[in-house]
Structures are given as structure tokens and as C-alpha cells.
């Protein structure tokens, strides 16, 4: 390991539940002081209301390293990043930063809603430490990377959250800090933009800069990071090689997939509509604990809207995976409402959508279901391992066999046929003697 870029030692952060800790004016400070004198709180009462967001966290990150932090919501990831970014102070312990740091923790942090995208580039880049000449030199590159050239002279108050994060990430990435902290921005944007973000972070690492990534996207952590940290309830659960840390997190997530879906906190999106439950039914509409390969199966996706307004232009997607936490590489198949019916989908209140498979094309085993819903191309609710689907082998082909003897892998079953053919034997051809010299 080379020189240290970030060094965290015995870091802890305690919050007092129900207490107001922000005092912006002298009046607020005086009121707080006199209030404290009037009301004595016992040590027992204070301890009961104390919440430790972080407890004795220690780790080092080397210069030029791509380092990942993962954990369920409430594990302490955001608190840790705020301390590293100097937004909040720790209760105890130290967090030393060696180099210029740029952090992208919240979408559009530092943007002024009344200013245009172009004007906010100058403003935000200046806040992040860039000189005006440097901003001017990189302006076209920042705009091109964001992919929102058409709206760059529009006030950002009219931007969608996806446009916000594109522009915010583009500015932060082009500041070229020695240390870049990125928090879950890859959850927003299309696949091409996510690829550009990954490429930019890899480029930064190759250039000797340090990148710290927080994400629920396990393949990103596993493929991009050398090492990773797993946080659980404010404590370090595991620190080490990214692949091993991801596997440990996947095991924790698999247990969560058995929890009530509407209570889950490891979800992403605006939350105006969420997945409340996923049920498995047979062809007759009866709820089943397991599905049978080759039989008609219904996946019923229950939803809840947060208010009475209609959530318009929705798209609901369910995909099945064999590997926990990998939303792309291990998808066995995907079902999305827009693929088979382009009719606009509007959601309101509570209800369900049935995804009907005439013949479930899976061999026996356990599969993880990813639930995703968006409206107007903005993520509303995204849970990587929403539920566990158990499949038992059935007579998919009508022959009493699902796969050859000795086969141990899971597979997608497809209808097919085969036909034998034989190549005709070559006919004997009459040998003709070659002409001799006398015949010529």
C-alpha cells in the first residue's frame, strides 16, 4: 500500500434523539443555553435518548485506491461521508484527509434553482475549488459529459432529479480532486451515463487520484473497487477484499429478502409509489409458497402510493436473478410492463399488477426477484432483492425430465425440437487414367 489518502481512527458519532443541535443565530444559542439551565436532564435519560450512528470505526485508504463502502440504510454510511466531507464533526475519534477533496453526496448540492445549468456550473465548480479560467477551459467537456446540452441554459429548478445528478456528477468529476467521494449517484441515469461515470472514476484512479464510492450496486463495488468496508448498525462488520465484502453483504441481504417488503429500508427512489409485497400464485390464482417449472405462474406485484394523486407514466419491472445484489449480469429473465403493452400506466392508491407466465421457464432452485418502478423516467422504488422465489422441477418438456442426469446448475428452460439427418455417402466415381505421352 502506498501513501495514505484517508485515515480514520476510532471514529464515533452520537446523536441525541429529540434534541435540536443546530443554532444559527445568537437568539437560538441563548435560548438553548437558558433552557438547559432551567431543565436538568439526568444521565440515565440522556443515555436512553442517545443514538450512535457510528461506533469505533477505523480504516485507511491508500492514494490512488478505489474504495467501496456498503451497508443497508441506517448502517452509518451517510454519517461517515459527512464527517469525511467536513459537513459534520465526530463525537470522538479522528478522520484525516491528505489532499484536496471533492464530494458528491446529494443531488445538486450547491445549485441555485433560479440560475441556469451553465451558470450553476460556474457557481458549483467555484465552490468545489476551481478557478474561473479552469472552469472556462473545461466548460464544453462538462456539458458534453452531462448529456443535457439542450437544457444547459434552462433554470435548474425545471430539471428532473436525473438531470440534476448528471450535471452535479459532471462538475464534481471534472474538478479533478485528489480525493473524490461519490454517494449512490449511479442509481440515477440511464445505462450509458452510468458507464461514463464508471469510466471517469476508473480514469481518476489510473491518474493517481483516490475514489471513495458508496453504493447498493454490488457489481460496481466488486468490479471497480480493490477493497471495501461493510458497515452494520454503525460498526465495521467487515473490511477487506471487495469480492469477499460483497459476498458477506449479499448474505445479509438474502436474509432481508424474507422480511415484509413494505417495511424494507434498503430501497432507492423518490418513494411516491413503492412495492408493498410480491406474491406467487398458480394459474388458478391460488397463493403458493413455491412455483413448479413449466406450470402457469403469476407474480403479483402489490403497490402503495404515498398520496392520492395519480402517479402517471409508470413502468414496473421484475427480473429474476440467481446471484444476490447483481441487477444486470445474472438476470435470468426480465418482465417490464412497457415491453408487451405500450399503453401508459398510471398508479393511484393501492393495488397490484399481475405478471403472468404461461409456462415458468426455470429449473428448480431459489431465485431473487428485483423490483423496480419509475414514473416519467424517474426512479420511484428500486429494491434489488425484493423477495425469494422458490421453484421446484416440473415436467416442462412432457418427458419427465427437466435436464440431463448429473446436471447441477440452474437454467432457463426453452421449448425446442431436434431432428436427425444423415449425410449421403459419396458415390463411387469412375477412375479415368491420365493421358500418356503417346496419346498426346
User: For residue range 55-74, what is the model confidence (pLDDT) as tens digits?
Assistant: 999 999 999 899 999 887 77
Q: Tens digits of per-residue pLDDT, 69-91?
A: 988 777 899 899 999 988 899 99
pTM for this structure? Answer: 0.59
pLDDT band of residue 43 (cuts 50, 70, 90) is very low
* Residue with more model confidence, 272 or 124: 272
Question: Using an 8 Å Cβ cutoff, are 159 and 189 in contact?
Answer: no
Q: Tens digits of per-residue pLDDT, 349-371?
A: 999 999 999 999 988 888 889 99
Which segment of 12-26, 253-267, 273-287, 363-377 scores lowest on mean pLDDT?
12-26
* Residue with more model confidence, 24 or 346: 346
Which segment of 131-140, 185-194, 198-207, 254-263 scores lowest on mean pLDDT?
185-194
Nearest to 55 by CA among 231, 304, 289: 231
C-alpha cell at 5: 489518502
Dist. CA 171–CA 149, nearest whole Å: 14
338 φ/ψ angles, rounded to the nearest 5 degrees: -80, -20
Dist. CA 13–CA 21, nearest whole Å: 13
Q: What pLDDT score was predicted for residue 257?
A: 57
Q: Tens digits of per-residue pLDDT, 379-427?
A: 999 988 888 888 877 778 877 676 776 676 778 888 888 888 988 876 6
Which is it for strands 350-357 and 297-305: parallel, antiparallel or unpaired? antiparallel
Which segment of 50-64, 217-231, 342-356 scores lowest on mean pLDDT?
217-231
Arithmetic mean of pLDDT, 292-297: 88
Q: What pLDDT score was predicted for residue 223?
A: 78
Question: Using an 8 Å Cβ cutoff, are 182 and 201 in contact?
Answer: yes
Examine the pLDDT at 1 and tell me if it is beyond 50.
Answer: no
Q: Which ranges of 260-331 would DSSP assign to H, the alpha helix? A: none
C-alpha cell at 189: 441515469
* Residue with more model confidence, 179 or 250: 179
Question: Using an 8 Å Cβ cutoff, are 365 and 322 in contact?
Answer: yes
The dihedral formed by the CA atoms of 336, 341, 344 and 350, expressed in degrees to the nearest 10: -60
Q: Which residues pair with 371 in a beta bridge?
A: 318, 383
The dihedral formed by the CA atoms of 73, 74, 78 and 84, expressed in degrees to the nearest 10: -130
Q: What pLDDT score was predicted for residue 23?
A: 46
Examine the pLDDT at 47 and tell me if it is beyond 50.
Answer: no
* Residue with more model confidence, 35 or 150: 150
Q: Which ranges of 180-263 would DSSP assign to H, the alpha helix? A: 191-206, 218-224, 242-256
Domains, the chain, in order of start with CATH, read 4-256 (3.40.50.300), 264-392 (2.70.50.60)
pLDDT band of residue 430 (cuts 50, 70, 90) is low
Amino acid at each position: 500500500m502506498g501513501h495514505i489518502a484517508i485515515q480514520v481512527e476510532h471514529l464515533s458519532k452520537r446523536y441525541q434523539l429529540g434534541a435540536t443541535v443546530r443554532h444559527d443565530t445568537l437568539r437560538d444559542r441563548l435560548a438553548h443555553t437558558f433552557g438547559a439551565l432551567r431543565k436538568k436532564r439526568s444521565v440515565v435519560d440522556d443515555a436512553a435518548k442517545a443514538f450512535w450512528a457510528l461506533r469505533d470505526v477505523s480504516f485507511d485508504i491508500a492514494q490512488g485506491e478505489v474504495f467501496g463502502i456498503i451497508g443497508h440504510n441506517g448502517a452509518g454510511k451517510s454519517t461517515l461521508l459527512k464527517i469525511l466531507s467536513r459537513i459534520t464533526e465526530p463525537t470522538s475519534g479522528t478522520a484525516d484527509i491528505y489532499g484536496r477533496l471533492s464530494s458528491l453526496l446529494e443531488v445538486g448540492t450547491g445549485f441555485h434553482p433560479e440560475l441556469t445549468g451553465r451558470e450553476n456550473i460556474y457557481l458549483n465548480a467555484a465552490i468545489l475549488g476551481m478557478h474561473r479560467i479552469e472552469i472556462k477551459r473545461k466548460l464544453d467537456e462538462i456539458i458534453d459529459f452531462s448529456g443535457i446540452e439542450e437544457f444547459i441554459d434552462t433554470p435548474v429548478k425545471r430539471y428532473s432529479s436525473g438531470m440534476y445528478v448528471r450535471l452535479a456528477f459532471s462538475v464534481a468529476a471534472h474538478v479533478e480532486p485528489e480525493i473524490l467521494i461519490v454517494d449512490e449517484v449511479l442509481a440515477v441515469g440511464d445505462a450509458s451515463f452510468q458507464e461514463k461515470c464508471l469510466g471517469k472514476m476508473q480514469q481518476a484512479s489510473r491518474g493517481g487520484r483516490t475514489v471513495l464510492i458508496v453504493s447498493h450496486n454490488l457489481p460496481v463495488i466488486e468490479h471497480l473497487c480493490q477493497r471495501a468496508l461493510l458497515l452494520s448498525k454503525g460498526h465495521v462488520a467487515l473490511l477487506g477484499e471487495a469480492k469477499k465484502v460483497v459476498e458477506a453483504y449479499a448474505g445479509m441481504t438474502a436474509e432481508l429478502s424474507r422480511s415484509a417488503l413494505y417495511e424494507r429500508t434498503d430501497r432507492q427512489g423518490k418513494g411516491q409509489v413503492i412495492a408493498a409485497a410480491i406474491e406467487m400464485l398458480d394459474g388458478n390464482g391460488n397463493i403458493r409458497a413455491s412455483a413448479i417449472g413449466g406450470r402457469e405462474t403469476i407474480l403479483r406485484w402489490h403497490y402503495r402510493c404515498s398520496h392520492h394523486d395519480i402517479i402517471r407514466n409508470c413502468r414496473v419491472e421484475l427480473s429474476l436473478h440467481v446471484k444476490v445484489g447483481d441487477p444486470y449480469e445474472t438476470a435470468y429473465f426480465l418482465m417490464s410492463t412497457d415491453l408487451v403493452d405500450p399503453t401508459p400506466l398510471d398508479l393511484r392508491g393501492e393495488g397490484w399488477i399481475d405478471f403472468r407466465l404461461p409456462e415458468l421457464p426455470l429449473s428448480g432452485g431459489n431465485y431473487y426477484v428485483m423490483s423496480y418502478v419509475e414514473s416519467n423516467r424517474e426512479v420511484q422504488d428500486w429494491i434489488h432483492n425484493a423477495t425469494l422465489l422458490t421453484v421446484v422441477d416440473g415436467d416442462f418438456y412432457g418427458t419427465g425430465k427437466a435436464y440431463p442426469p448429473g446436471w447441477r446448475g440452474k437454467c432457463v428452460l426453452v421449448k425446442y425440437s431436434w431432428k436427425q439427418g444423415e449425410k449421403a455417402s459419396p458415390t463411387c466415381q469412375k477412375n479415368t487414367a491420365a493421358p500418356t505421352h503417346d496419346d498426346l
